[in-house]
Amino acid sequence: MSGTREVLKQVSIYALASYMTQFLAVIAGIVTRNFLGPYLMGIWSTIQLVISYCEYSSLGIDAALSREFPFCIGKGDKEGANRIRDLVTSFGLVTAAITSVGILSYILLFGKQWPPYLFWGLFVAPLLLITQRFSNVMVGWLRASKQFELAGAQIVLSGFVNLLLIILLTSQLKFAGFLIAMVLSCFFNVAFLLKKAHFHFIFRFNREIFRLISFGLPLLILSIFFDLLRSIDKIFVIRYLGFEQMGIYGVATMATVLATKIPDSIVIILIPHFHEKFGEREEARDLKRLVDRSASAYSLIMPLVIGTAWIFSSLFVTYFLPKFTAAVSSMKLLLLSTYFFALFYPYSNFLIAIKRHLILFPIIAFTLFVQVFFTFFVIKSGFGLNGVASVAIFCYFLNFFWLFVIAARFLYNAKEALMKFFFLASFFIALAVILTCLDRWCVMASLMQQTILQLSLFFLSSIPIFILLEREFGALGHILDFLTRDKKRAI
């Protein structure tokens, strides 16, 4: 693995790019809804749904690229890495083309009964599917080869171009203009990546494709399971508490979506490092330092993120979403759950890297069963949204606990495992106690003054975390380097 500073730099750049892209996507969503209205947005959502399901035709082979490519690099097998790149690209484009033919055939056979906008709009779906598949493979290759600056620049620039095309074309041509904007945006992504990434591949097929599918398909299914774990609470809220409560719970989940962007961005950076390191000798314990440092980083960073979001939540909702103040308490509980959500990543990535990813199936399946049972129980017992959010905390903890227990068998002796577990758990306990005390004892008439006081006390109590971040990762020096790098280049 490259130096800690290099990894921190990659994380900073890609996390910032992800947040900027999300911000641009929110603006684009608002603009699009104003131009198209509810009916045409419903048509577009249907087209998006078709495309999203068609993405499964890749059989998870793109996940194999992100992991097998750096594994080969770690082994020093550059030819094998390039062969995997070629196979994944070829298979992805062929399956996208076959799926596109299926879409077009279905439209021509059954589409005459559909609304005109849906009929003609779906003709665009095959074009979007193929171009998105190609650009996704190239972005996956950039990540696998650790070209994160270019990958970050691409997603931000893509967001800008997409927003600009929507404004220019949708304002003049409505739905037709919007579809043209989507197609042009996808072509821009492909053209930009081909030019800047210098992506070259040879069209090839051989039996190795089946090995890649056998590795990637379970990862695809696991991602579906994990997405279900992240959304099953919402399904129960809609089913048993109604749309109004779901509207409140939806606001509660806003903060968690932003908070989890950080671990989501970090894990994208860490995946190639895990697999490249394991590829060097294929020894599980070679990953111990990487697992420990990434888990420690999450345990130090997430309390700061959660605490800041917790304290600002009341102020934000009161001033900007006054009709949703009932969401604040469940929002705070859901924020706590993101701590164990983040700690899921180091140990799951470790098990995937050493090719023990099938162990994850019973773990996530069991956690899903527990979440379904207890979510149903708390709703029927009248605990409402706070009960649902509390179940989420417990289930994310349970998921992390079992992963840790299994990964510890490969990494630690019994004493080391206990010390590591209590080290990670202690930060969560301290965080929950501090935030609960601040909410109970630091209450003022002015919400703004209360927020400032709570934030000041929280950061004072977090001084040990800042010290550990500096001692373990040189965080302050990295931040200063990151902020002054443009000035240094100019000199």
Q: Would you place residue 1 in the very low, low, confident or very high pLDDT band (cuts 50, 70, 90)?
A: very low
Q: Among 206, 226, 256, which residue terminates a domain?
A: 206
Q: Which two tokens stand for residue 93?
A: 């484009």
Nearest in space to 457 (alpha carbons), one of 469, 449, 468, 467: 449
Residue among 139, 140, 121 at smallest CA distance from 182: 121
Tell me the torsion sign for CA atoms 345, 459, 8, 264.
positive
Place of tokens 């379904």: 372
pLDDT digits (tens, 9 = 90+) for 136-170: 999 999 988 888 889 889 999 999 999 999 999 99
Residue 483 reports pLDDT greater than 60: no
Mean pLDDT along residues 233-260: 87
Tokens of 219: 């990862």
Are residue 36 and residue 142 in the same domain, yes or no? yes
Cβ neighbour number for residue 393 with a 10 Å cutoff: 20
Q: What one-character-per-residue DSSP string does 236-283 give?
A: HHHHHH-HHHHHHHHHHHHHHHHHHHHHHHHHHHHHHHHHHHHHHH--
Q: Is residue 212 part of a domain?
A: no
DSSP string of 123-136, one letter each residue: TTHHHHHHHHHHHH
Structural domain contains residue 126: yes
Reported as a single tens digit per residue, the pLDDT across 271-286 is: 888 888 888 888 989 8
The Cα–Cα gap between 249 and 226 comes to 20
Residue after which a domain boundary falls, among 176, 206, 236: 206
pLDDT: is 484 or 80 the higher one?
Answer: 80
189 and 334: one domain? no
The predicted structure's pLDDT at residue 199: 86
| Residues of the chain above pLDDT 90, percent | 50
Looking at residue 10, its pLDDT comes to 80
- Looking at the structure, tell me whether residues 387 and 452 fall in a common domain: yes
Whether residue 395 sits in one domain with residue 292: yes
pLDDT at 478 over 60: no
Domain total for the chain?
2
Whole domain around residue 81: which residue ranges?
A: 4-206
Residues 373 and 483 in one domain: yes
d(CA 475, CA 259): 19
Of the listed ranges 110-114, 121-125, 475-479, the least confidently predicted one is: 475-479
Assigned domain for 123 exists:
yes
Q: Is residue 246 assigned to a domain?
A: yes
Predicted pLDDT of residue 491: 46
- What mean pLDDT do residues 177-200 have? 92
Same domain flag for 9 and 131: yes
Residue 463 reports pLDDT greater than 60: yes
Q: Per the domain annotation, does 185 fall within a domain? A: yes
pLDDT digits (tens, 9 = 90+) for 380-435: 999 999 999 999 999 999 999 999 999 999 999 999 999 999 999 999 999 999 99
Phi-psi region of 2 (alpha: psi -120 to 50; beta: other; left: phi over 0): beta
334-351 pLDDT per residue, tens: 999 999 999 999 999 999
Q: pTM of the prediction?
A: 0.83
Query: Do 230 and 114 sit in the same domain of this protein?
Result: no
Of 206, 237, 267, the residue that ends a domain is 206
| Mean pLDDT, residues 198-220 taken together | 89
Angle of helix 243-281 relative to helix 384-411, nearest 10 degrees? 10
Domain contains 415: yes
Q: Is residue 211 part of a domain?
A: no
CA 155/CA 438 separation, integer angstroms: 39
Which tokens in the block code for residue 34? 């104003």
Residues 80 and 104 in one domain: yes
In a domain, residue 162? The reply is yes
Please report how the helices 288-320 and 463-473 are oriented relative to each other, as an axis angle in degrees rounded to 10.
140
Residues 309 and 411 in one domain: yes
Mean pLDDT computed over every residue of the chain: 89
Read off the pLDDT band of 490 (50, 70, 90): very low
> Mean pLDDT over residues 101-108, rounded?
93
